[in-house]
C-alpha cells in the first residue's frame, strides 16, 4: 500500500451499472462513445444499505455540466490523501480487484461519500484508491 496525495478535486461523469459485475465493459464503451476515447476512466463503487455493490463507470469531466446534458451521473473525488495499490496487467486480474480493496478499506465500509475508486491509467495499469 502506498499513500497518494490527490491535490485537486476530480470531477467525473458516467453511468450506473445496475447489473454489476455484468455490463461494466459495455457501460465504459457507452461513456467513451459519448465523451471521447481520450478521457481517463474511473470505476466508482460502494455498498448500499442492502449490502449491494453500486458501481459507476465514469470518465473525467472536461467541461462543467457536460454530464447533465446526457442525463449522466456526476461524482466528485475530493482532494486529499488516499491509500492506493497499483495492479499491473489488470485486465488479466479482474477477479483480484475485490481482494485489493478488502485490504485497503480494512475495517471501514465503503459508502457513497467514501467509495472505492478504480483509476484506469492505461490498459495495463489500474490504481485502486480509498480515502485515507
The domain spanning residue 42 has which CATH number? Answer: 3.20.80.10
How many domains are there within the chain? 1
> Is residue 120 within 8 Å of 126, Cβ to Cβ?
yes
Phi and psi angles of residue 95, each rounded to the nearest 5 degrees, phi first: -70, -20
Q: d(Cα 84, Cα 86) in Å, to the nearest integer?
A: 7
pLDDT in tens, 17-37: 999 999 999 999 999 999 999
pLDDT in tens, 70-89: 899 999 999 999 999 999 99
What is the domain extent for residue 124?
2-131
For residue 60, pLDDT over 90 is answered with yes
> Is residue 9 within 8 Å of 76, Cβ to Cβ?
yes
Amino acid at each position: 500500500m502506498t499513500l497518494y496525495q490527490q491535490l485537486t478535486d476530480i470531477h467525473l461523469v458516467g453511468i450506473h451499472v445496475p447489473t454489476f459485475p455484468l455490463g461494466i465493459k459495455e457501460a465504459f464503451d457507452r461513456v467513451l462513445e459519448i465523451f471521447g476515447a481520450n478521457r481517463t476512466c474511473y470505476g466508482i463503487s460502494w455498498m448500499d444499505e442492502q449490502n449491494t455493490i453500486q458501481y459507476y463507470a465514469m470518465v473525467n469531466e472536461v467541461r462543467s455540466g457536460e454530464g447533465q446534458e446526457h442525463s449522466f451521473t456526476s461524482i466528485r473525488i475530493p482532494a486529499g490523501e488516499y491509500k492506493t495499490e497499483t495492479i499491473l496487467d489488470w485486465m488479466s486480474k479482474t477477479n483480484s480487484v475485490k481482494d485489493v480493496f478488502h485490504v485497503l478499506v480494512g475495517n471501514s465500509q465503503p459508502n457513497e461519500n467514501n467509495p472505492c475508486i478504480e483509476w484506469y491509467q492505461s490498459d495495463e495499469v489500474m490504481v485502486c484508491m480509498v480515502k485515507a
